[in-house]
Structure 1
Amino acid sequence: MDNTEVQFTQLLQERGISLTTEQLAQFDLYYNELVTWNEKMNLTGITEREQVYTKHFYDSISLAFFLDINEITNLADIGSGAGFPGIPLKICFPHLKLTIVDSLNKRISFLQHVSTTLGLTDVQLIHGRAEDVARKFTHRDAYDLVTARAVARLSLLNEFCLPFTRKDGVFAAMKGSDPSEELSEAKYSLKELRAELSKVESFSLPVEESDRHIIMIRKTGATPAKYPRKAGIPAKMPLMK
């Protein structure tokens, strides 16, 4: 192990997560594929090894600090981009049935390559808009846990993500700075989409100590038939009053 892997392993152990040699090898492969593919398509602005391990891998896994992922069967990651947080969580918790939805087919191609290269199973990759995919019976009100990391403001994210979340399931919005303003403007969307704020967890990323917040939202009922609205409309007219 190099210094980056040693630090990564120790930081996760402090949070009660132990990685096997195979899992460390998967993260190493993931990093190398990310950097290689990033040369031909824009996946991330962060490519330095230690930074990727901290700002992408550790940050993605942080969801498991506040939720018992062992109790989660299926996870939907909406707008996953280069696979965060879905792929790091899948590496750490192989039992997860992971579904990733992304609107850019090039990113889906990258994630397919990564999943195959890392030997990941039970990974479903879907090219499409969240508003369209959430209307399909197999995905609607279906997932124990739904995530989105740095995708959009919460009032918009709720309409993208809560239709995927099953009743009593959790939508976890992973944010950077203090989300108080977003929470205030998202109250109407929570009510409309049959959900309620459960809690907001906060922590600092190691080394650089930048703030992170995870908004936990519980789904209280089935998604009303009129949601999500047609693709493009939520972004133009977020659910706010």
Structure 2
Amino acid sequence: MFLLQLTEPSPLFCSMEAQRTLKKHMMRSLNTPSSPRIISCRQIPHGDLMDVEQLYEQHREKLDIFSRLLSSANKRVNLMSREEISHISSHILDSLLLAEEIHDMNSIIDLGSGGGFPLIPLAIVCPDISFTGIDSAQRKTDFLEMCKVKLSLSNVQILHSSIEESAHLHAQFDGVTARALAPLHSLLSLATPFLKNNTSSRLIFLKGTHWKSEVAAASGIMTELGVQHNSTVEFSNIPGREHSAVLTFSPKSYS
């Protein structure tokens, strides 16, 4: 069960349905003893959801601002669908699930950053990590640049470019992230070249219910690229989302 400790859901942060769900999860969380403490992204132990929840709460102010920026901008330009924009809180929670996997990295490139997921939430909670977001749509990179300024994210660089035309960035990053960008077999081909040649470089992708079939379908390209599937951490009952899975991969020669 994914439990999020909240004080009071903001009406600007989520839909009425999501607010009711979050309040229900809040009451369950309040019955769970915990010792509040200040943590940083780099202190998150693998698999410790409570620490991820505390990290979320520590950065609620900026995450709420990001939510409002996205809601406002989406009325003028098409960043997300109407259905997606009604569940911004779910997308933020989903993005923060990656924090456990990136806490030991120094540089990350997020492919197809679009409306800012997972790039902006991760950059907010992990200020010591350098993030590069790339997207081929000018309206989306303009929005991301605005978020960078409004949220004072000095650890973020935004590039307006296609992934295929960004070969000059190959072999420069400790990690590559992506969410809802492409089928896994295509994603592996696009992402792997951006990894540094070191022992800790990893690909970290957010997938949904059908991740197992995607991994099976990508077996051929994994062999071709020399990439192995390291782990999958699954999450359910996140408000507004049925199922999420964090998949990690690494080059075999460096694993």
Q: Give the shorter-chain TM-score range.
A: 0.7 to 0.9
Q: What is aligned with 1:61?
A: 96
Instruction: Report deviation, 1:205.
Output: 4.0
Q: Distance in 2 between matches of 1:109 and 1:101?
A: 11
Bigger shift: residues 207-216 or 115-124: 207-216
Q: 2:72 aligns with which of 36, 41, 54?
A: 36
Q: Distance in 2 between matches of 1:200 and 1:19?
A: 22
1:130 aligns with 2:196: no
Kept in 1: contact 2:112–2:178 (CA 8 A): yes
Distance 1:193 1:115, change over 3 A: same
Q: What is aligned with 1:111?
A: 144
Instruction: Report deviation, 1:19.
Output: 4.1
Q: What is aligned with 1:236?
A: none
SS in 2 for 1:75: strand
Q: What is aligned with 2:8?
A: 2
Instruction: Report deviation, 1:105.
Output: 1.1
> Which deviations, in whole Å up to 9, do the C-alpha atoms of 1:144-194 show, x marking residues without a partner?
111110111011001111111123311012111121221112112112223
In structure 2, runs of 5+ residues without a counterpart are 1-6, 14-18, 30-35, 37-48
Bigger shift: residues 89-98 or 17-26: 17-26
Kept in 2: contact 1:59–1:205 (CA 8 A): no
> Which deviations, in whole Å up to 9, do the C-alpha atoms of 1:193-239 show, x marking residues without a partner?
231111122111423461111221012359xxxxxxxxxxxxxxxxx
- Percent identical among aligned pairs is 25
Distance 1:77 1:2, change over 3 A: same
- Matched residue count: 213
- 1:229-240 equivalences under 5 Å are none
In structure 1, runs of 5+ residues without a counterpart are 223-241
SS in 2 for 1:16: helix
Q: 1:25 aligns with which of 52, 61, 66?
A: 61
1:145 aligns with 2:175: yes
* Root-mean-square deviation (Å): 2.5
Q: Distance in 1 between matches of 2:206 and 2:135?
A: 17
Q: What is aligned with 2:41?
A: none
1:190 aligns with 2:196: no
Q: What is aligned with 1:16?
A: 51
Kept in 2: contact 1:171–1:219 (CA 8 A): no
